[in-house]
Amino acid sequence: MGNSEEMRKIQFTGKSSYIVSLPKQWIADMGLRQGDQVAVVRQGVSALQIVPLKLHNKPVSTEDATVEIKPEDGGPVIIRKLISLYLLGFNVINVKPKLGRLKPDQRNAVKDAVKGILMGTEIIGDSTEGLTIQVLINLFELSVDGALKRMLIIAKSMQNDALLALGEANYDLAKEVIASDDEVDRFSFYIVRQLKIAIQNEHMLKEMGIEFSHHCLGYRLIVKNIERVGDHATELAKDLLEFKKPIRKSVLAPLQELNSFALGLLDESCLSLFKKDYNQAELTVEKSGDISRYEKRILDSIKSIRDDEEVYRVRRINENIRRIAEYSSDIAEIVINMTVEKTLRKQ
């Protein structure tokens, strides 16, 4: 049926009941029969939502998944397998050895994934036969937008800290930046899991505040862009740990100006997403063209530097920060695509 609209008359039956007939095609699509129950949910002041009881508040994928670990499987291989099953929306993941028992380092890899990577998971079974992971997150505890906001805060903080570390040769701060990237990834995996569940269930899509299922693709691309901001901050932190020297102040100042510009764009593009604001997104894309002015200042600042290594580093740092401005523009373009329908409807 898609988003087609049908007019129905309210009828009066018995002494006090009002009834509305349901579209035959929808009944067929949902696999419903006479006597089946539906939940009638009030939406705001004037709308009601009718949901088959079998779909009401029920996660799409409740079945268990079992992953078999080979004796030669190392930690990274095991973690990748667990992430895949988590993203597919399984609520229970059983980790079993293909032969004999799990090795101590294999068990530790599973525990590390639960503790640091897979948001909302807990080990509920732990024996020589293997481990059982339960996904405990309630679907509505943390919305997609809520998780995106947290991801954004961490990625921006990483970027600012990385530049601070580069200015004062703060190696501990650089290491903290690199460690924070795992936290950005956690939110990323959580959001992708939620989008996977939402795209299969229209009722949950609306509960998550996503208007149309095709917007899930836009959200997926936005998550990827914010995740990359964390990757670039990590690159800046690694630069300091690799070269063991700060960047001189005369060059750092224009780099920081470019960084403020790029993160400002990122804020504006994400704000246009949260507000579903077409005009704000348009302005952000236009503003992204100003980046060349900031890059010119950086290029001017390195003209007098005779140290080839430092010139190379500054150019590489500049490139990393410029990418963030480009991702911000990409996010705004995705928001334009998501909100253009609304502007057409208004016209």
Per-residue pLDDT reduced to its tens digit, 68-108 = 999 999 999 999 999 999 999 898 999 999 999 999 999 99
- 236 in Cβ contact with 317 (< 8 Å): yes
CA distance 247 to 255: 10
pLDDT in tens, 185-224: 999 999 999 898 888 877 778 777 788 888 999 999 999 9
With bands split at pLDDT 50, 70 and 90, how would you rate the model's confidence at 138? low
| Residue 168: per-residue pLDDT | 95
Contact (Cβ atoms closer than 8 angstroms) between residue 62 and residue 139:
no
Q: Give me the count of residues in the chain.
A: 347
Residue 256 pLDDT exceeds 90? yes
**Residue 14 or 223, more confident:** 223
Encoding tokens for residue 82? 């667990």
Would you place residue 4 in the very low, low, confident or very high pLDDT band (cuts 50, 70, 90)? Answer: low
Report the share of the chain in percent with pLDDT over 70.
Answer: 93
- The answer, as to whether pTM is greater than 0.95, is no
Q: Regarding predicted confidence, which is higher, 310 or 141?
A: 310
Mean pLDDT, to the nearest integer, of 41-53? 70
Question: Cβ(173)–Cβ(161) under 8 Å?
Answer: yes
CA distance 243 to 238: 9
Instruction: Tell me the domain boundaries of the chain.
Output: 11-52, 64-135, 144-346
What does CATH list as the number for 64-135?
3.30.110.10
State the amino acid at position 176 in one-letter form.
E
Class of the 144-346 domain?
Answer: mainly alpha
Which two three-digit tokens encode residue 331? 């996010």
Q: What is the pLDDT of residue 33?
A: 87
Q: 36 vs 176, which has greater pLDDT?
A: 176
CB 144 within 8 A of CB 207: no
